[in-house]
Amino acid sequence: MFRNVAELVELAESQNVKIAEIMIQQEIDITGVTREEIMEKMDRNLTVMEEAVERGLKGVQSVTGLTGGDAVLLQNYIQSGKSLSGNLILDAVSKAVATNEVNAAMGTICATPTAGSAGVVPGTLFAVQHKLNPTRKEMIEFLFTSGAFGFVVANNASISGAAGGCQAEVGSASGMAAAAIVEMAGGTPSQAAEAMAITLKNMLGLVCDPVAGLVEVPCVKRNAMGAANAMIAADMALAGITSRIPCDEVIDAMYKIGQTMPVALRETAQGGLAATPTGRELEAKIFGIALNKSE
């Protein structure tokens, strides 16, 4: 059993296996169920993710009207041939947005690691799928690799916006995705850890300030940026770039930052974007709350 990223990488390297395999072995040991059952369960999760992306790309709208349709706009923009960022990154972004738009529209998604950060892992996975042409088994392994890094964060820091801000949610999801992308692309366990570190340290301090307390604004677009962050960090790690601060220390720093973050910036909708004039107007419109003009 691994407790941190250093131990995870050491186990994978010493056994000469993927990080995904270490996570699968741990699931077998902890749950006592067979490998086949564990793989089947993750396969079902993958199907849920795939269906959410497909639904989002057809266009959905939330009940509040705050979110919806942006995934379609991005796909149309990609097809126009005018994109500046590159089609692969924008495809990942659009599919991350699609997933979170489905979540906001009360559709079924797979929390990775939370509902509010559910877009990054599938968004990047289904984008790089067209580049790397993985088998179904390799796509399932992508999720186990993501899960291994998420397991470390959850047990050593936090994946909760209420406890640690959006850095703990979208930040963690982005790091998980970056590590899994690296492994799918043929990178080493150490490079996967570097990708996680590079991603997460560039999202430190990200606050959780949902407008009207709903997982829509700015959550959906933060998943978009998280997906882009993950893609770039994965490329950096695959190029041989390393993080000067080890991955476990970055995770620890994220935890400590979350502990010192004001309550107003931890999912309470009391500060940040939620407390802007427009944020309050949207809240009043949605819930019928009378605006206090004196504020």
Three-class DSSP category at 92: helix
The pLDDT confidence band at residue 290, using thresholds 50, 70 and 90, is low
pLDDT in tens, 53-67: 999 999 999 999 999
Containing domain of residue 235, as a range? 5-287
CATH of the domain at 186: 1.10.4100
Backbone angles phi, psi at 185, to 5 degrees: -80, 0
pLDDT tens-digit profile of 189-242? 999 999 999 999 999 999 999 999 999 999 999 999 999 999 999 999 999 999
Please state, in angstroms and rounded to a whole number, the distance separating the CA atoms of residues 182 and 185.
Answer: 5
Classify residue 158: in a domain, yes or no. yes
293 has a pLDDT exceeding 60 = no
Is 292 contained in some domain? no
- With 80 as the cut, is the pLDDT of residue 292 above it? no
Question: Coil, strand, or helix at residue 208?
Answer: strand
Task: Say if 293 falls within a structural domain.
Answer: no
Q: What is the pLDDT of residue 81?
A: 97
How many domains are contained in the chain?
1
Q: What is the mean pLDDT of the chain?
A: 97
Instruction: Say if CB 217 and CB 208 are below 8 A apart.
Output: no
Average pLDDT of the segment spanning 18-22: 98
Is residue 200 in a domain?
A: yes
Band (pLDDT 50/70/90 cuts) for residue 29 is very high
For residues 99-128, give the mean pLDDT: 98
What percentage of the chain carries pLDDT values higher than 70?
Answer: 98
Percentage of the chain modeled with pLDDT above 90:
97
Residue 13 lies in a domain: yes
Residue 295 belongs to some domain of the structure:
no
What pLDDT is stored for residue 294 in this prediction?
45
CA distance 107 to 114: 14
> Rounded to two decimals, what is the model's pTM?
0.96
Taking the chain, what is the end-to-end CA distance rounded to the nearest angstrom?
53
Residue 294 lies in a domain: no
Q: Which two tokens mark 172?
A: 């963690």
